[in-house]
Amino acid sequence: MKRTAVNPWDWSLKLGYNQAEVIEGATRQVICAGQTAVDGDGNPQHPGDMRGQINLALDNLEAVLKDARMDVSNVTKLGVYVTDVDEALKNFDLMGARFGPHQVAPPMTLIGVTRLAIPGLLFEIEATATA
């Protein structure tokens, strides 16, 4: 698979994502449901802790990708839903820590919401991965 970044402007690069990517030669695609800060039984973890919730949601995303025989280097699109955009952005270094070592900056949308499906959750991330 070949990824070519499309960035008519460079401002998004400073935030860790490309405006778009052209994907060529892909043979498999995985569409992941939104991952949140829940344990293996679906119980919310890290109440009131945005950083802890982002970290666990990313752990859960990586677990789903691994089960599909992929990793974050295969992610080609992210959707992020948060109950507090400012608090989430303060902790986005966690996103860079996960995606940066793989040298990928998938296009991303960050949306502020009133609440998520399970009360107490602050952060949810969905992904499309391509190989």
Buried residues in 27-61 as b, exposed as e (16+ CB within 10 A) = eeebebebbbbbeeeeebbbeebbbbbbbbbbebb
pLDDT tens column, 74-95:
999 999 999 999 999 999 999 9
Residue that has been written with the tokens 């399970």 in this structure: 118
Q: Summarize the confidence of residues 98-117 as an average pLDDT.
A: 97
Q: Which residues make Cβ contacts (< 8 Å) with residue 91, sequence separation at least 6?
A: 50, 51, 54
2/79 Cα distance (integer angstroms): 22
48/38 Cα distance (integer angstroms): 13
CATH of domain 27-130: 3.30.1330.40
128/121 Cα distance (integer angstroms): 22
80/88 Cα distance (integer angstroms): 10
Domain boundaries, the chain: 27-130
Question: What tokens appear for 126 in the block?
Answer: 């969905």
| pTM assigned to the model | 0.94
Residue 26 has pLDDT above 90, yes or no: no
pLDDT tens column, 46-55:
999 999 999 9
